[in-house]
Amino acid sequence: MNKSELIDAIAARTELSKAASGKALDAVIDTIVEAVAKGDGVTLVGFGTFKSAARAAREGKNPKTGEKIKIAATTVPKFTAGATFKTTVAAAKGKKKK
């Protein structure tokens, strides 16, 4: 599912226009990105948690030449799925395998 398909699904479930659904989705995404960028976590109970995580400096390897390179420390976004999300996905996978 891509963003436009997600907007269509939101519009169908909420009876909002596609334009209003798109604005709402953009607002949610922007708010989560801004909060995580500031170092705050965003928890949506049952869905998951968005937060930032520090990644230490490390040594890597250029796959083309095999040369060792230094990879700088950085901060990255991290998502951890909630219990309800995990349970729903696991149940859906179980149904498909039969």
Comparing C-alpha atoms, which of 23, 21, 1 is closest to residue 11? Answer: 21
Note the pLDDT of residue 97.
58
For the domain bounded by 41-98, which CATH number is listed?
A: 4.10.520.10
pLDDT in tens, 13-54: 999 999 999 999 999 999 999 999 999 999 999 999 999 999
Q: H/E element holding 61?
A: strand 58-61
Which residue from 1, 3, 32, 30 is spatially nearest to 18, judged by alpha carbons? Answer: 3
What is the SS3 assignment for 16?
A: coil
Name the average pLDDT for the chain: 94
